[in-house]
Amino acid sequence: MSVYNTALHGFSSFTVKSAIIQFIITFIVAFIVESLVEPKARKLALSLPYNKSKEINFIMVISFCMVPMMVLIMSVYGLILTEIMVGIEGSVFTAYLKTVGLNFIVALPSQLLIVGPISRKLLGKYIKPLTQKPELTM
């Protein structure tokens, strides 16, 4: 999404050093935001009426719950970053709505078709599932 948003605003202020710094800061911000959004999206996904017996249904519902929340929050961050880097022309509200729309049309399909499947495959390959439930000690 960082490369996509940089491309949207042009590469005029792009340097390798600034891109690395921007990527690191954005990664940290996105990680924190995702850590806050994921429990709320999970709770919302579990409260919705759908067939919860199929794992793919839960995956789809949680994606549809998480992506809009992440887009709304990270678009604020992107708008702040845009203001710092190149400035915002016109209304901030209009710029925010445009940013949300442009980010959503890329974030949802990429989550459903690319990022989600790759993440699940890698996590399934390298993270061993818990075979037994841990015992609670008092």
pLDDT digits 0-9 by tens, 7-51:
666 666 667 787 788 889 989 999 999 999 999 999 999 999 999
Prediction pTM value? 0.77
The average confidence (pLDDT) of the chain is 85
Residue 63 near residue 104 (C-beta atoms within 8 A): no
Q: What is the mean pLDDT of residues 102-120?
A: 92
What value does the mean pLDDT take over residues 82-105? Answer: 89
| Residue 138 reports pLDDT greater than 60 | no
Report how many helices (DSSP H) and strands (DSSP E) the chain contains, helices first: 5, 0
pLDDT score for 67: 95
CA-nearest of 72, 69, 64, 46 to 108 is 64
| Residue 116 confidence (pLDDT) above 70 | yes
> Do 100 and 72 form a contact (C-beta atoms < 8 A)?
yes
Rounded CA separation 61/44 (Å): 9
Q: What is the CA angle 70-28-58, rounded to 5?
A: 35
